[in-house]
Amino acid sequence: MRSLSPSELLGAWERGLTQSLIQRALELLSAVYPHASPDLLHGLSIGQRDAELLALREQLFGPEMASVAVCPQCRARLDVTLNTYEMRCARALEPEAEVAFGVAGYELQFRLPNSNDLAAALDYGDADQAQERLLSRCLLGAQRDGTSVACAQLPREVVDAIWDRMARADPLADIQLAVSCPVCNHHWRATFDIVSFLWSEIDNLAGRLLRDVHTLASSYGWHEKDILALSPVRREFYLTLLES
């Protein structure tokens, strides 16, 4: 993973403004891996993709992430501190391209969902339909007593077993945080989405960079590319001088 210059980061941010979250994730990966083919990036499992985004977040802002969780019972706002390195340690280093296993008399084979699968599933507004669409794309085969079984005909216990096996094969694909509320003592699991979290941080950073450019260009007449080429320390020094 290569480092992004402020100009390159702004370029990725600008292109992502009109994109979906899934497209934004791939846009960021394309920026840090410019020689990787679109097929390669699109084909990464969700856990592999998000591991790369965690690494990018660490590169841009450091490993500590400050977030907020809202208790679903008493609505208290809780500060939650996360660590990108600890999360990345939970990833499967080399997820299997295909997984085969048996449960309840069924022989099953599936591959891990990727960004294309997720985008296709999200075309459905209904959560159950989206889940069924995702499973149908990733299920490579299902048999019982030597007879093929369609995805829609699988019993709920078998479907649940597939989702459970997918989660274990690609643990970063669905990050669930164990949270406890100190106000009402309620315990629950909260979903953490690195794509939306990182994009929010990049959006804020882009705003600060553009404001810095506006201030320095207005005061000194410098070009944007020259201002962005300054180190953060020198850029901040010039901004401080303008305030004095």
Tokens for 67, please give them: 């977030």
Residue 217 lies in a domain: yes
Asked if 69 and 137 sit in the same domain, the reply is no
Distance CA 133, CA 118 (A): 9
Of the candidates 141, 160, 163, 166, the one whose C-alpha atom is nearest the C-alpha of residue 151 is 141
- Give the pLDDT score at 159: 95
pLDDT at 29 over 80: yes
Q: What is the chain's mean pLDDT, rounded?
A: 93
Contact status, residue 49 vs residue 29, Cβ threshold 8 Å: yes
Distance CA 102, CA 125 (A): 31
Asked if 69 and 185 sit in the same domain, the reply is yes
pLDDT tens per residue across span 87-133: 888 765 667 778 999 999 999 999 999 999 999 998 887 888 999 99
pLDDT tens per residue across span 39-97: 999 999 999 999 999 999 999 999 999 999 999 999 999 999 999 998 888 765 667 77
Q: For a pLDDT cut of 70, what percent of the chain falls above it? A: 98
Domain end among 117, 145, 169: 169
Asked if 124 and 182 sit in the same domain, the reply is no
Asked if 78 and 192 sit in the same domain, the reply is yes
Asked if 31 and 51 sit in the same domain, the reply is yes
* Number of independent structural domains in the chain: 2
- Give the pLDDT score at 93: 62
Asked if 123 and 19 sit in the same domain, the reply is no
Contact status, residue 195 vs residue 119, Cβ threshold 8 Å: no
Residue 119 lies in a domain: yes
Residue 56 lies in a domain: yes
Backbone angles phi, psi at 103, to 5 degrees: -155, 135
- Give the pLDDT score at 92: 54
Asked if 143 and 207 sit in the same domain, the reply is no
Of the candidates 170, 149, 147, the one whose C-alpha atom is nearest the C-alpha of residue 158 is 149
Asked if 164 and 187 sit in the same domain, the reply is no
Residue 67 lies in a domain: yes
pLDDT tens per residue across span 197-241: 999 999 999 999 999 999 999 999 999 999 999 999 999 999 999
pLDDT tens per residue across span 156-190: 999 999 999 999 999 899 898 999 999 999 999 99
Distance CA 50, CA 174 (A): 10
Domain end among 169, 191, 224: 169
Q: b or e along 28-67 (b: 16 or more beta carbons within 10 Å of the residue's beta carbon)?
A: bbbbbeeeeeeeebbbbbbbbbbbbbbbbbbebeebebee
Residue 236 lies in a domain: yes
Residue 1 lies in a domain: no
Asked if 223 and 153 sit in the same domain, the reply is no
Residues in the chain: 244
Asked if 31 and 65 sit in the same domain, the reply is yes
Asked if 130 and 188 sit in the same domain, the reply is no
Domain end among 118, 143, 169: 169
Q: DSSP secondary structure string, the chain?
A: -PPPPHHHHHHHHHHHTTS-HHHHHHHHHHHH-TTS-HHHHHHSBHHHHHHHHHHHHHHHH-SEEEEEEE-TTT--EEEEEEEHHHHHTTS-SS--SEEEEEETTEEEEEE--BHHHHHHHTT-SSHHHHHHHHHHHHEEEEEETTEE--GGGS-HHHHHHHHHHHHHHSGGGSEEEEEE-TTT--EEEEEE-HHHHHHHHHHHHHHHHHHHHHHHHHHH---HHHHHHS-HHHHHHHHHHHH-
Asked if 226 and 190 sit in the same domain, the reply is yes
Residue 103 lies in domain: 98-169
- Give the pLDDT score at 124: 81
